[in-house]
Structures are given as C-alpha cells and as structure tokens.
Amino acid sequence: MALVNTTVIMFRANHPAYTGVCIVFALLLMCVSVVGNFLVIATFLKTDRLRKPTYYLLSSLAFVDFLNGAVGIPVEIFKRFVLIEFTCLYTSSRYLSALTYLFGGNSMIHLVMVTWDRYIAVHKPLRYETLVTSKQIALGIFFSWSISISLVIGLVAKKEDPTLIGNYCAGTNYTQTDRLTRIGILLVMTAVFLSGITLITLNVIILRTAMRHARRIAQMQQAVGAGHDDTTSRVKASQIVTIITLGFLICYIPTSIFHIILGIDIEGRLFSRPFDDVTIFIFYCSSALNPIIYCYRDRVFRENALRYFKDKAVWRNLCSAESTFV
C-alpha cells in the first residue's frame, strides 16, 4: 500500500542536552541574522552615499538573509528538534526544508549578480551607468526570486523513495534509495560547490584588476596633480563583494561536501545526523556574516549603522507603516 502524507515513522530521539545546545545556538544565529540584516537594509537605503547599484543588490541580499534568519532558521529547527521528536512526516519534512533551499539558492543568484555588477564597474567604468540601471537591478532581483521559487516547487512536487526519509528518522543509513536520486544529489551539490569556487575566483580577478587600475590612476594623478576620482570606492566595493563571496563559499562547503559524500556512499555508512546538523548550522552562518563584514570593511556603513542602532526614533520609523526609506 502506498504511503500517504500522514505516514508516521518512529524516531530515536536526541539527547535533551544536545537538543538544548542546538536550539540555543540557532536562536543566537537567528538574532544576529535578523537584527544585523535589518540594520544593513536600513543603512543602505537611508544613506545617500550608499545609494548605488551595488549596494541595492547587497541590500536585496540582506533581505534574503533577513528572511532566512526570521523564517528559515526557526522552521528548520522546528522540523529537526521539535516536530521530529514526536513523529516524522515525510511530506511535511520536505515542505519545511524547502525554505532552506529557497533562500540558499536565492543568495547564490544574488552573488552572481553582484559579481557581474563589479565586473562591469571595473572593466567598463565609462559605460557602467548605462549598462547597470535601477530597472535592470529590479529585473535581476525578480529573476532571482522566480528561479529560486521554480526550483523549490520542482523539488517539493517531485516524488521520491520514502525509504530515504524513513532511514533518516530511524537514525540509521541515509541511503538504500535509488541510483537516480543519489546521482541527482551528487550533481546538484557538485554544481553548487564548483559555482562557489568559480565565483570567488572571478571576484579575486576583478579585485586585482581594480587595484591595478587604482595604482595606475594614482600614479597619473600624482604626475599631473589631478584630483581624486571614484577608483578607490570601486576597489573598496570589490573588496567587500570578494569577502562576502568567500564567506558564502566557506559556509556552503561543509553541507555541499556532506551531500556529495552521501551521493557517493552507496551503503550509507558515512551518514551522521549530528554532522548533518552541524553542516546546516554552518550554512545558516552565511546569513549572519554579511552585516559583520560590512561593519568591518566599510567605514561609512559602520558609522551610519551605529547611529541608527543607537537612535530609538529610527527604529520606530523603520518599524512603522509610514516608513518609506527615503
């Protein structure tokens, strides 16, 4: 008889201390992600010097991270340490995990757009304002959400072997599933890993090019006594994007490698639920890292973020229905 959505599989519960530590760490991550990215969005949109296409994309990325902290982390923790302690519902588990894939995929698409923005700014600075407009930024953000939602719908709607989730809930082997599923996991996670490597490589190349241009222009200005241009700001923006991409890659590597191993490990001997939990926490750290990076690397952002954080009136305005960020 085929399984239905209410199929219940008995589960071997976690130790209470383990569950408590995981929930406390998740709450800490959630607070940092929500508060930090809220400040990022407010600071970018209310600071005139930061109203540039690159920072609009970064504020959109911060919005994705904000949702990841406010919705993704609580739902995932509820699934892993609350719902699953009593029962293991196959379909419910897939629905709840879909948010993680939605926000994670959206973040990667945003980093691709920011990398392309930096490439145009560094290699085609004279055409930058023509090639990168507010309309194109809005279309890119719409495209990123459309692609992410489509992929998640395909993932949730796909029929899979229930043995996979049954073994997970029983705390035993991860696999005993069909070869096609293992190949799919292997290909997707390998693509994510290689995409991350490609992104960080491109950003390093862009940063080196920007620094060479800055040195060359500085030498010319020193020779002719010319004034300051915006080359330094392009270098700083490229540095920030490179560090963000590197942090994103570091946070995604563990979960990507974990799933690649599961795709290769036919017998399922290497599966470990604690390691699975650790990799997902590292994955969520990417949402909390970006505000820290902005504060560390961008003085203008740091000064304005601190001012907004200390000003209670700003918080009231931002939380009110009349707030327009202008």
Instruction: State the first-to-last Cα distance of the chain, in angstroms, to the nearest integer.
Output: 60
Position 324 in a domain: no
For the stretch 102-118, pLDDT in tens is: 898 898 888 888 888 88
> Rounded CA gap, 309 and 39, in Å?
7
Model confidence at 324, pLDDT cuts 50, 70, 90, reads very low
Q: Answer yes or no: is 1 within a domain.
A: no
- pLDDT tens-digit series, residues 18-77: 878 888 888 999 999 998 898 888 888 777 777 788 888 888 999 999 999 999 899 888
Work out the average pLDDT over 284-307: 77
**Angle made by CA atoms 182, 187, 191, in degrees to the nearest 5:** 150
Q: What percent of the chain has pLDDT over 70?
A: 67
Range of the domain at 277: 16-127+135-319
CA 162 from centroid of its chain's CA atoms? 29
- On whether the CB atoms of residues 156 and 94 are closer than 8 A, the answer is yes
Asked if residue 8 belongs to a domain, the reply is no
Residues 77, 21 contacting (CB under 8 angstroms): no
Q: Which of 242, 208, 22, 226 is nearest to 114 (CA)?
A: 242
Question: Quick one: tokens of 273?
Answer: 């639920």
Query: Cβ contacts of residue 235 below 8 Å, gap of 6+?
Result: 207, 210, 211, 214
Within a domain: 148 = yes
Residue 11 resides in a domain: no
pLDDT exceeds cutoff 50 at 7: no
pLDDT of 174 above 60: no
Provide the pLDDT for residue 44. 80
Torsion angle (degrees, nearest 10) of CA 264, 97, 281, 82: -120
| Alpha-carbon gap, residue 90 to 250, rounded angstroms | 30
Higher pLDDT, 308 or 116: 116
What tens digit of pLDDT does each residue of 28-37 get?
Answer: 999 999 988 9
CATH number of the domain residue 96 falls in = 1.20.1070.10
**238 within some domain:** yes
User: Do 102 and 129 meet the contact criterion of CB atoms below 8 Å apart?
Assistant: no
Mean pLDDT across the stretch 92-98? 73
How many angstroms separate the CA atoms of 84 and 87, rounded? 5
Q: Is 279 a residue whose pLDDT tops 80?
A: yes
Assess if residue 36 is contained within a domain: yes
Question: Is residue 108 one of the residues assigned to a domain?
Answer: yes
Confirm if 125 and 234 have CB atoms less than 8 A apart.
yes
Q: How many helices (H) and strands (E) does the chain have?
A: 13, 0
- How many separate domains does the chain show? 1
